[in-house]
Every structure is written in structure tokens, then in C-alpha cells.
Amino acid sequence: MDLASKLFKGDRVIWIIFMFLCLISVIEVFSATSTIAYKNANHWAPIVRHATFLLGGFVLVLLLHNIPSRFFPVFILLLPLSILMLILTPFIGVSANDAHRWLEIFGITFQPSEFGKLACIVYVAFLLSRKGRFSDAQIFKYILIGVGLTCALILPENFSTAVMLFGVCFLMMFIGQLPLLKLTKLAAVLILAVFLLFAGLLFLPNDVLKYIPRALTWKERLVDFMHKDKTADASTYVITDDNYQVSHAKIAIARGGLIGQMPGHGQQRDFLPQAYSDFIYAIIIEEMGFIGGIVVLLLYVMLLVRVGMIARRCERLFPKYLVLGCGLLIVVQAFANMAVAVDLIPVTGQPMPLVSRGGTSTMISCIYFGIILSVSRFGAGIGNEEEPDEEMEEVLPDNAFESMDVETIRESSI
């Protein structure tokens, strides 16, 4: 216990949530990657790869949660670097699933958008914490420039990520008490822009949309979602190429029942193309049942609640906004993944943080957890209750006060 208490500092609840999500990830990714395992000479390669990223992420969490949160503004340096990488990605990036979202440098493939998300959260938190130095108008303008440019570069290849990131930054501005009139005007402009975009996708001919990156894909997903089959007679339901993913996700959820088929016994993992990523929540419900799905949902809800409690205990503004931004980004992305799996929103391609298989996403999610734990330690003072006593015991021996006379103690106190 002493070793664990010295190694795992910060909020214990966050640590428990982190450990449970990692455990669920290892079990479900191992099950969901069966189709990949059969295609490899080494059947253990997919899960070994994922476990390696989780282990590396765990090391990052251990390192970051020992760094005081006042040093985290250094992540803002990632913002110009991310913008540069996002500019280069459409031209020299690696194409996968009809999208250029990855860059390959020295044999390492990663998503620049993940670094852009981290940089934007730290950037917004830093600016909101400087309300005494900058006016509200200046902060609002700087946030729009930095976050707006990043989201604009992400949007062509990853619409859902751009919308989610800007939405989280908008919530941070609202929590940071920027003028409500400015935020209302911004929200109105964004709603109008989204409406015009959807109208253009629905009414413009395909001959025009084919010249816009990913426009045809967006249109197909939007049309499929708007015209999904509502027929009550299951015998008339036909699985087509358009509803293939959603249909098998529904089958997985239906087979799950209350307690599920148990890990390793799911069938839809062999049919869902992204069973280990975009639709992993459907596999979780199939193998762990309704109870398992609720447990995963509650883990993210508990994370958001705990992040709010940590933020309330922070006296300084930067760690307060930083921990809220990290928590909101993790939870909003998790909810988006779950909503896709249960067919509440169109397919977005958002992985479930820390659970879905993915290198860049897993590592960045661990960085968020490391930041949250660091803020809980150095910003909110959680998990360090025993440190002053331990430090005093190391400085002074057990019989130190016995060897002092009353006059010496009085002089030292003065």
C-alpha cells in the first residue's frame, strides 16, 4: 500500500476510472480484433500492439501527474506545429478509409488532429486564465483565430472532430464567462453555417460535390440517417451497403441482453469493419450486456463529475479551465462514440477514448488523464495530504524535539 500511495498520487477516483477503462480496453480490443488476428502470421500481434500503446500511455500518466500543472502551458507550442502538419496532411498524408488524416514521419504514423485538440484545450484554458491582462474582446478574438483555424483545417477530412473540438472550446468560453452576447452571436453563425452545409449536401448534385473532399461521404451518411428504415416487421429488413455498419451494430446490441455473451463470444465483431474502434461500444454491449454498457457509460459520467469537483477546488484559473477542458473532451468524444453505436447520430468515426484501438488516440487520451491527475494534485491539493508529514519526518529524526529545550523551541518559532 505504501508503494502504491507513493506511486499513484492525485485523485484516487480518477485513477480507478483510468484503470477500469484500460482493463475494459484490453479485454474488448482483444476480442474485437479477431478478424485482424486471422490475417496476421502472429495472432497476438494486434493485441500486443494495443497493449504496448496502453503501457506507453500509462508511463505518460505517471510522468505527467508528477509535473505541476503550471508547466502545462508549454503544450501551446503544439498549436502552430499542429496547424503546419494539418496543412501538409492533405498533400503528403497517408490515405485510409477515403480520408487523409494521418502523417507518417520516420515510419511512425499519427493523426495531427489529435495534437491539435490537445493544443487547443491548453490554449483556450491559458487565455481564459489571463482575463486580468487581456480584455474579453481580445481573448474572444485570439480564441477564434487559434481554435477556428485549427478546426477549419481539420474539418475537410474529419468533420465530426472539428465540430466536437469547437463545441468543447465553446463550452470552455461559456464556463470562462466570456460575454454572453458574443457567444450567442457566434452560436447563431455556427448554426446557420451548419444548416447551409447540410442544405448544400442534400440539394447540390453529386457532380458538384465530388470536387469537395469527403462531401459525398457526408451526404451518404446524412441521407442514410434521415431515411433509416422504421419498419416494425423484422422480416422485411434488408441489410445493404449503406446501412451495413449500423445494422450489425444493432444486431450486436440486441444479442447482448442483460449480461451479454461473455468476452470472446461475440459474433458481430466478425462483421463490423471497425468493431475495435468506431463500434466498440456495440461489441461491449454484445459481450458484456446491458449491464456492461451501463458500467462503461457511468465510468465516463463519474469522470465528468469528478473533474467538476476537482475544478471547484482549484484556486487558480488556468488549472481550473484546463481540467474542465480535458474532462469535457474525453467525455463528449465517448458519448459521440456511444451515440453512433446505438444509432442516435450519423456515423462519425470517433473512437472511444482509452477503450478503442488506436495509437495516437490512446496516447493523447492518456495525456489528458495525466493532466487531470496533475491538476488534482497541484491545483486542487487532492492526494497529497500525507506529504507534509512525510517530508517533516525525513528532515527531523524521531527524537529531535526531545533534545531541544524550551528556549530553543521558542527562539525557532520566533
Residue scoring higher pLDDT (98 or 53): 53
CA distance 310 to 308: 5
**Average pLDDT value for residue range 213-223:** 73
Question: Can you tell me whether residue 155 is helix, strand or coil?
Answer: coil
pTM score: 0.86
Name 201's Cβ contacts closer than 8 Å, sequence gap at least 6: 209, 215, 218, 219, 222
Residue range 122-157, pLDDT digits in tens: 999 999 999 889 999 999 999 999 999 999 999 888
Whether the predicted pLDDT of 200 surpasses 90? no
Q: What are the start-end ranges of the H helices in 129-204?
A: 136-154, 159-175, 180-203
Residue 189 carries which side chain, given as an amino acid letter?
V
The whole-number pLDDT of residue 414 equals: 37
| Residue 346 or 114, more confident | 114
Model confidence band, residue 49 (pLDDT cutoffs 50, 70, 90): confident
Q: Which residue has the higher pLDDT, 298 or 202?
A: 298
Helix H or strand E encompassing 109: strand 108-110
Q: At what angle do helices 112-128 and 359-374 cross, to 10 degrees?
A: 20
Tens-place pLDDT, residues 386-399: 544 433 333 334 44
What region, left, alpha or beta, does residue 383 occupy, with left being phi > 0 and alpha being psi -120 to 50 degrees?
left
Largest Cα span, the chain: 94
Mean pLDDT, range 303-326, rounded to an integer: 95
User: What's the pLDDT score for residue 274?
Assistant: 76
Question: Looking at the predicted structure, is the pLDDT value of residue 163 above 60?
Answer: yes
Is residue 262 classed as helix, strand or coil in its secondary structure? coil
pLDDT at position 385 is 54
Contacts of 161 (CB under 8 A, 6+ apart): 113, 117, 154, 350
